[in-house]
């Protein structure tokens, strides 16, 4: 388990891993924090990605070691390992020779869609089990962050601890992801659907943004100006919701009798937008579940 000052690893440091790394590196060490990230070890597959990370984190290279294809080295040097690969690669990466030993008694944080903690544990222990060895004890924590981690504004859901021995692992994980936004614990049974809510809904909101931009441009405003206005309006909505205003109350407050807003809302209802969003989330959750199986 992790000491107060621990090494962090990120195996397969792509878009998501990089966003998390950027968030962690941008925070100054806090003497009162319960933990402190000492050194960081990351792996990627290609030389191009090594260069990308070297350029991006040039001023932190005394603290970061970047490996090309050497996931085992990351696991061996780190107390807490974030796994950031595509779901289909999980079994290959975790089942590699020596990985079980390297991760023994470590915290493994998965950001993978569809992969349950049980599947993750099994992927680590399969190879070692076949060789007739004792299965390693790895504290697996399932998470689902989102791309706003880049801007310290992720909403990350974290699976609640399954038993007492995982409580500290979940605490450490929340502390790490609090560096890139907010965290919330949910039971694992909700993960495919609610993981999709936080992981995918931003992309769905961009469709609404596009519709608003198109009509603003059709009406005569240039697209950059329209985007600036929509962005601030969305930001304002987020602030109002965060302050505790209920969406349906806000809708009523904005819709004055005989006014224009109610016409727009009724048109959205005629077009089935509300149920389209509900079913979009449902199919996203189903796809997340399928990604966890062998289905590609």
Known binding residues for NADPH are 71
Say if residues 40 and 10 touch (Cβ distance below 8 Å). Answer: yes
Task: Report how far residue 204's alpha carbon sits from residue 196's, in angstroms, rounded to the nearest whole number.
Answer: 11
- Which conformational region is residue 12 in: left (phi greater than 0), alpha (psi within -120 to 50 degrees), or beta? left
Q: Which of 8, 10, 16, 172 binds ligand NDP (CB under 6 A)?
A: 16
The correct pick among 2, 6, 7, 12 for binding ligand NDP (CB under 6 A) is 12
CA atoms of 113 and 195, how far apart (whole Å): 8
Contact between 153 and ligand NDP by CB under 6 A: the answer reads no
Query: What residue number has its CB nearest to ligand NDP?
Result: 14
Rounded Cα–Cα distance for residues 87 and 110 (Å): 10
Which one of residues 20, 21, 23, 87 is an interface residue with ligand NDP (CB under 6 A)? 87
User: Least Å distance between CB 234 and ligand NDP?
Assistant: 18
Tell which residue, 79, 110, 103, 80, has the closest CA to residue 195.
Answer: 110
Q: Which is nearer to ligand NDP, 184 or 246 (CB)?
A: 184
Beta bridge partners of 10: 42, 82
**Which is nearer to ligand NDP, 13 or 226 (by Cβ)?**
13
Which of the stretches 33-41, 138-146, 241-249, 257-265 binds ligand NDP when contact is defined by CB under 6 A?
138-146
Residue 89 interacting with ligand NDP (CB under 6 A):
yes
Closest CA to 178 of 197, 164, 158: 158
Kindly state whether residue 184 participates in binding ligand NDP, applying the rule CB under 6 A.
Answer: no
Please, what is the minimum distance in Å from the beta carbon of residue 254 to ligand NDP? Answer: 31
Residue 74 or 138: the one with the smaller Cβ distance to ligand NDP is 74
Q: Does 9 bind ligand NDP (CB under 6 A)?
A: no
Closest approach, Cβ 229 to ligand NDP, in A, equals: 26
Q: Which is nearer to ligand NDP, 153 or 273 (CB)?
A: 153
The residue to which tokens 């409580």 are assigned: 167
| Sole residue written with tokens 């601890």 | 161
- For 271, what's the count of Cα atoms within 13 Å in the CB-facing half-sphere? 10
In the β-sheet with 139-144, what is the strand arrangement from edge to edge? 64-68, 36-44, 5-11, 80-83, 107-110, 139-144, 154-159, 181-186
| 42-61 binders of ligand NDP (CB under 6 A) | 43-46, 49
| Contact footprint for ligand NDP (CB under 6 A) | 11-17, 43-46, 49, 69, 71, 84-87, 89, 93, 111-113, 144-147, 199
């Amino acid at each position: 388990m992790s000491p107060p000052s621990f090494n962090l690893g990120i195996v397969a440091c792509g878009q998501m891993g990089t966003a998390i790394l950027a968030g962690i590196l941008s925070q100054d060490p806090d003497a009162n924090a319960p933990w402190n990230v000492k050194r960081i070890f990351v792996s990627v597959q290609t030389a191009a990605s090594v260069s990308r990370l070297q350029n991006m984190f040039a001023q932190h290279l005394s603290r970061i070691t970047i490996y090309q294809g050497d996931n085992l080295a990351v696991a061996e040097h780190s107390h807490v390992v974030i796994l950031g690969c595509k779901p289909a690669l999980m079994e290959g990466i975790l089942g590699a020779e020596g990985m079980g030993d390297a991760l023994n008694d470590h915290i493994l944080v998965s950001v993978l869609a569809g992969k349950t903690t049980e599947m993750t544990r099994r992927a680590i222990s399969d190879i070692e089990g076949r060789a007739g060895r004792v299965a390693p004890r790895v504290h697996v924590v399932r998470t689902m962050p989102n791309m706003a981690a880049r801007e310290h504004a992720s909403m990350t859901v974290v699976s609640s601890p399954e038993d007492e021995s995982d409580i500290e692992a979940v605490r450490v994980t929340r502390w790490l992801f609090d560096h890139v936004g907010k965290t919330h614990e949910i039971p694992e049974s909700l993960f495919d659907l609610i993981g999709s809510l936080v992981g995918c809904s931003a992309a769905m909101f961009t469709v609404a943004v596009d519709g608003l931009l198109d009509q603003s441009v059709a009406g005569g405003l240039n697209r950059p100006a329209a985007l600036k206005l929509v962005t601030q309006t969305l930001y304002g909505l987020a602030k109002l919701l965060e302050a505790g205003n209920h969406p349906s109350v806000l809708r009523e407050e904005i819709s004055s009798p005989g006014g224009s807003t109610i016409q727009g809302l009724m048109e959205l209802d005629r077009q089935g937008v509300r149920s389209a969003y509900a079913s979009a989330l449902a199919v996203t959750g189903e796809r997340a579940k399928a990604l966890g199986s062998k289905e590609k």
